[in-house]
Structure 1
């Protein structure tokens, strides 16, 4: 029989993230976002103390840059010292954003803080407050940002502990959405003999496997509209029989959100305004006591489509909705409408124009096929942009497009062309 214990698993804190691209954001929003990673970390530390966990695991990318900001390091030192005062140990590995060779201030940390080195996998025994051995914790840090070696291969459990916990910043099974650093396979991790793999690197929480548990907690604070929804850490309880249970705890200080609004059935600007305002109110309710950054995505087909094709009109809608909700200066629980994304289609009156035999029908059929097939979409975009791609900046822009953005551009271009052709007719 093992000794029951509890630990907190978090990763990807990205302290002092610069939140690039905020030049046009309201000052109050910008300032809150710049502090949000610190506020989230403070919530994490408070959670660990409130739950009286035996230890905390931080699985890499504690800082946003290899040359860590001094402010972030001082904040880290303060909070880890507070955890140590409550008898809570912290086990740390560094990842690709904060590798070992990055600049670090010479600061003193309590002996309860363990930072694993990068030369080999190390392990430390962990005892509870009664002095009973509860686990061995293993880890290895990145020596530099781009680690292509399989670090998981160096992990081997050392006999003598009832529970073995591995801490690793890695890309399991080649997740295409993240850099393929410290690549490894889920099957490999599962066969190693560890009870829990505390992973970092992927910013969306995932439990890849149970028994043994292989877990990404995601990051603790969203940093863009690619990182929407709750963010936080896993509170992990291990029973006396060795059973593992996970409880996700949300620590985000600001919530990033996206909502879909359909234009179907809407025949006036007043109706559309009411739907958009309702979506903003729903976002505020879902965010609870926290502020939110919101993107509204207009979808569906309807008579309002043509009026939404002008960037000037969309900008006016954006500013009007911000004015309706009120300035972030006026409240703590604000909703900042970051953008309106138009993915609508024109209302089909009579026969579907894509079913005909003319140029317009062929245009719409090709656009629909390109939206379904990413390879065909790539080919169509290459053909359309061929004359412009002599310019290096445009080539860089095109290379940066993912499948979703490419599909959106093709669909928007086809619908705009269709609208212009209909007007000419």
Structure 2
């Protein structure tokens, strides 16, 4: 991502805009899976922060802006805070300022509020908006931290007027007008920011990088490291260059250390499991190559019309382990499969089933096409679900009886298993 904004004169500077570091937050529930790269997972956020620090030093930036969610609630131990302050000392030794507003996850943690920091770091107050000046650069940074986890007020409305003769930067953790998958915290209209008269708005909270507008730049840098499948693709921060007589340059810098990906494998016409594995290997090799040298954590989707539709659904555990084994042999530590989704369909024109299988098909078709029936089925299964061991109910791979989509997937798998057994019992293929 590379963007040019309006021309601003009489200064020269370089800074990093980052947000949503979520230091020491684990990649969601992957450690529960056998064979997961546990150590890579545990260290991912720290290694991404290390890349950010190295980028700041290599580029000799003047300051770093952190627009909230530096942490992820209360730390598991004090090493999280100690690690962060040690990284900030490296920037302090290089004369690099750091400005931080606390976001909803920071406000949820009690230890974060009393974090001692080196003299180059300023954490903005949550009581009211503040302005911090860098006199040598003629820069004014305005910001306000979250006082609590759920801030529903328009914080931007209370930010001060721009300081005359300075480059004015607004540092804000916000959902702006709202973004899918993110709570609507500190909401504000784009006009609220544009009309404030600042030269750059450094936003946080939204985990997808986005330059909302260029005049002035209103920017989400995205998170530094994806933590689950909904945070796929390259992650990083923004390197911003402003100098006399030129338009601001905003460069997205990739600093993540593990990449979440999604790979669709088209099984149209596939007739054997060996063919499934060959097609998977060929398609997944492209995914691994695109993200080289980073390791990938992949969600695999099997799609297309195939004679193997019923067999795949009926023996998901075998298919899952076969794909994971194939990936391990072909790509080693460079790739790992997080989940497999089956969206295949049966081949058209097959001779219709009769007898019990036909009755089963009609029942499943009726249930699948009715959200109310799926909900009723989930209600029936809920008491049984609660009797399962806690480890299973809390496992990322477990089904949710209150989720119609999850119930539909469970129904499809049960249907395929029953059909396969009925055909085997009757001697049909």
Decide whether the 8 Å contact of 1:345 with 1:415 is kept in 2. no
Classify the secondary structure of the residue corresponding to 2:106. Answer: coil
Matches within 5 A, 1:331-370: 334-349=334-349, 364=365, 367=368
Aligned to 1:126: 134
Q: Give the superposition deviation at 1:227.
A: 1.1
1:115 partnered with 2:123: yes
Q: Is the counterpart of residue 385 in structure 1 residue 378 in structure 2?
A: yes
- The 3 A distance-change label for structure 1 pair 418 and 101 is closer
Task: State the Cα RMSD in Å.
Answer: 3.1
How far does residue 234 in structure 1 lie from its aligned partner after superposition?
0.7
Partner of 2:149: 145
- Name the counterpart of 1:19: 27
Aligned to 2:326: 321
Distance verdict in 2 for CA 1:132–1:150, change over 3 Å? closer
3-state SS of paired residue (2:301): strand
2:236 is the counterpart of 1:232: yes
Deviation at 1:85, TM superposition (A): 1.7
The answer to whether the aligner puts 1:251 opposite 2:259 as a matched pair is: no
* The one of 49, 62, 70 aligned to 2:70: 62
Query: Could you list the runs of 5+ residues in structure 2 that have no partner in the other structure?
Result: 1-8, 388-392
Q: Is the 8 A contact 1:100 1:141 kept in 2?
A: no
Output the CA distance in 1 between the equivalents of 2:375 and 2:113: 49
Offset, 1:251: 0.4
Contact kept? 1:94, 1:100, Cα under 8 Å: no
**Contact between 2:381 and 2:401, CA under 8 Å: does it hold in 1?**
no
Aligned to 1:72: 80
Deviation sequence 1:133-192 (CA, Å, 0-9, x none): 1x2111111122222222121113333234211111111113241122222222322222
- 2:141–2:170 Cα contact (<8 Å) kept: yes
SS of the counterpart of 1:214? strand
Aligned residue in 2 for 1:194: 198
Retained in 1: the 8 A contact 2:378–2:402?
A: no
1:2 is aligned to 2:6: no
What per-residue deviation string (whole Å, max 9, x for no partner) do you get for residues 189-243 of structure 1? 2222222211111111122222122211111011111211101001112232463
1:311 matched to 2:316: yes
Deviation at 1:79, TM superposition (A): 1.4
Calculate the TM-score normalised by the size of structure 2. 0.83
Q: State the distance in 1 between where 2:56 and 2:168 align.
A: 20
Aligned equivalents of 2:113 and 2:83: distance in 1? Answer: 12
Report if aligned partners of 1:283, 1:335 keep a CA contact under 8 Å in 2.
Answer: no
- Helix, strand or coil at the partner of 1:175: coil
Name the residue aligned to 2:278.
Answer: 274
5+ residue gaps, structure 1, are 329-333, 371-376
Change (3 A) 1:124 1:378: farther
What SS is found at the alignment partner of 2:237? strand
SS in 2 for 1:387: helix
Q: In 2, distance between residues paired with 1:201 and 1:381?
A: 35
Offset at 1:266? Answer: 1.6
Work out whether 1:410 is the aligned partner of 2:408. Answer: yes
Cα 1:239/1:280, change in 2 over 3 Å: same
Stretch of structure 1 that moved more, 319-328 or 251-260: 319-328
SS of structure 2 residue aligned to 1:267: coil
State how far apart, in whole Å, the 2-side matches of 1:227 and 1:313 are: 28
Quick check: 1:91 aligned with 2:84?
no
TM-score (norm 1): 0.83
Moved more, 218-227 or 411-420: 411-420
| 1:120 positional shift | 0.5
Contact 2:229 2:260 in 1 (8 A): yes
Q: How many residues align?
A: 400
Distance (Å, rounded) in 2 between the aligned partners of 1:281 and 1:290:
13
